[in-house]
Amino acid sequence: MNCLLIDAGNTRIKFARVEEGVVSAVHAASTDASLDFTAFTDCGIREVWISNVAGDKVAQKMIAACAPLKVTPRFIVAEVEQCGVRNGYARPEQLGCDRWASLIAAWHRAGRACLVVVCGTATTIDALSDRGEFIGGLILPGIALMQRSLTGATANLRVIEGKYADFPDNTADALLSGAIQATCGAIQRQYTLLNTTGAPVLLSGGAAGLLLPHLNLPVQGVDDMVLQGLKLISRMENYE
């Protein structure tokens, strides 16, 4: 099936075409930017699948951008069970669709208990059991958001690009290192609580590269986890 996959996050919209099961190059735009999919009008797009956590205004913008394709986009929501993953949220429909898509992608990659960590505007740390059950997860501010929250609330701090240090000797490095250490600490804590020997940590998102050197865990870097989950969901729906 020739389709277009769209991941609308809090700050960026990423999209890619899938033809015969192969994902093309991934494109990205700011959620505030205009959106134009006319380049795909001659590509035979049959379906459009969207994960949207950016709100109604962005949803309407994506619907309008899809009009030249003459395809009504399908917005995913978290289900009770889908693609082999069972949703353990107290109210399954309240789980973010981006987290749901990432969990599906992670299960099909790992096929066992794992942590699914996506580092964007927010960082999510979600756990899957050996039976493909989503057993719960954390949401915390992303690396950049942690730093901005401090500079915004503290009169004498301002955003200056820093670098990581174990024992920072300046404010810029202290802000970045503190955000990295806090995030790594949360990941390490959840990994301990998962208590499954050898469980992989699937790490994705724009800030993944900042965390990777500091995690003493069996980490696997995974690109575009939400898009991968969308691809699996579209395949399942067409199969059924």
Q: Kindly state the tokens that stand for 86.
A: 């069972």
Quote the CA–CA distance of 34 and 32 in Å, as a whole number. 7
Please state, in angstroms and rounded to a whole number, the distance separating the CA atoms of residues 124 and 177. Answer: 19
Domain spanning 3-75, CATH architecture: 2-Layer Sandwich (3.30)
Give CA–CA dist 77/49, Å, rounded: 11
**Is 98 noted as a catalytic residue in this protein?**
yes
Distance CA 105, CA 231 (A): 9
Give me the phi and psi of 30, to 5 degrees please: -65, 150
Q: What is the pLDDT of residue 25?
A: 84
* Sign of the alpha-carbon torsion through 78, 84, 85, 87: positive
pLDDT for residue 156: 55
CATH assignment of 81-228, among 3.30.420.40, 3.10.129.10, 3.40.50.20, 3.40.1440.10: 3.30.420.40
Q: Is 138 exposed, middle or buried (0-12, 13-18, 19+ CB in 10 A)?
A: middle
Token pair belonging to 160: 């200056």
The 3-state secondary structure of 144-191, one letter per residue = HHHHHHHHHHCCCCCCCCCCCCCCCCCHHHHHHHHHHHHHHHHHHHHH
Of 228, 234, 237, residue with least CA distance to 45: 234
Annotated catalytic residue: which of 32, 56, 98, 224? 98
Q: What is the pLDDT of residue 240?
A: 46
Q: pTM for this one?
A: 0.93
Tokens coding 219: 């980490």
Query: Alpha-carbon distance 116 to 6, whole Å?
Result: 20
Residue 212 has phi, psi (to 5 degrees) of: -50, -45
pLDDT 10s digit of each residue in the chain, 240 long?
689 999 999 999 999 999 877 888 899 999 999 899 998 888 889 999 999 999 999 999 999 999 999 999 999 999 999 999 999 999 999 999 999 999 999 999 999 999 999 999 999 999 999 999 999 999 999 999 998 887 765 545 566 678 999 999 998 899 999 999 999 999 999 999 999 999 999 999 999 999 999 999 999 999 999 999 999 999 887 654
> Which residues of the chain are in CATH 3.30.420.40 domains?
3-75, 81-228
Which residues, including other chains, have CB under 8 Å from residue 234's CB and lie 6 or more apart? Answer: 1, 3, 5, 18, 47, 49
Question: Within 13 Å and on the Cβ side, how many CA atoms surround 93?
Answer: 0
Determine the Cα angle at 178 with ends 177 and 181, to 5°. 80
